[in-house]
Amino acid sequence: MSVGALAGPGERAPGTSADGGYSAETAPASGAPIGVRLRDGGIIEVALPANEEIDKPEAQVAGAAVRALAGGRRMPVLLIITGVVGVSVEARHVYATSIAASAFALVGESPVDRVIAHYLLRSRTESIPAQFFTSEAEAIVWLGQYKSED
């Protein structure tokens, strides 16, 4: 899944039907798809493809996948941004208006990843905790405090 996992209400992701079901065309047209999965421990992982710029359509598809995995609950999201070239203003808006995330841990390795993370962090609402990490293990530990008990 991608930053699109954070799409707001009323926005239908490309590749989905009006009833929220998925069609066969949910991958971005311009490169590697955004990976979205539910990890052990109740954390949703969104892995943005390296060497790609993330735009609104990809973000919306990822957002829809995150919401589907969350099933109406708010869950912690691990957003892996290592090697991403950039994130458009529109994709950033999708991220900032997430309705499924209880917290965001952004993970990257390089100074460029840190800059992109801070760009994304500036757009978030204050009600959703978010932090940048260079260690995935530390990010997962931090997200643990935001897991739902149901």
Q: Provide the CATH number for the domain around residue 96.
A: 3.30.750.24
Which tokens belong to 67? 């919401």
Q: Please give the C-alpha separations between residue 107 and each of 16, 44, 91, 115, 138, in angstroms, as whole numbers.
A: 28, 13, 17, 12, 9
Strands 35-39 and 43-47: antiparallel
Q: What is the pLDDT of residues 42-89, one digit of tens each?
A: 999 999 999 999 999 999 999 999 999 999 999 999 999 999 999 999
Residue pair 79/44 in contact by the 8 Å Cβ criterion: no
Q: What is the pLDDT of residues 3-50, one digit of tens each?
A: 333 334 433 333 433 333 332 233 444 567 899 999 988 999 999 999
**Whether this model's pTM surpasses 0.75:** yes
Domain of 54 in residue numbering reads as 3-10+31-146
Could you tell me if residue 130 is inside a domain?
Answer: yes
Could you tell me if residue 15 is inside a domain?
Answer: no
User: In the chain, how many domains are there?
Assistant: 1
Could you tell me if residue 23 is inside a domain?
Answer: no
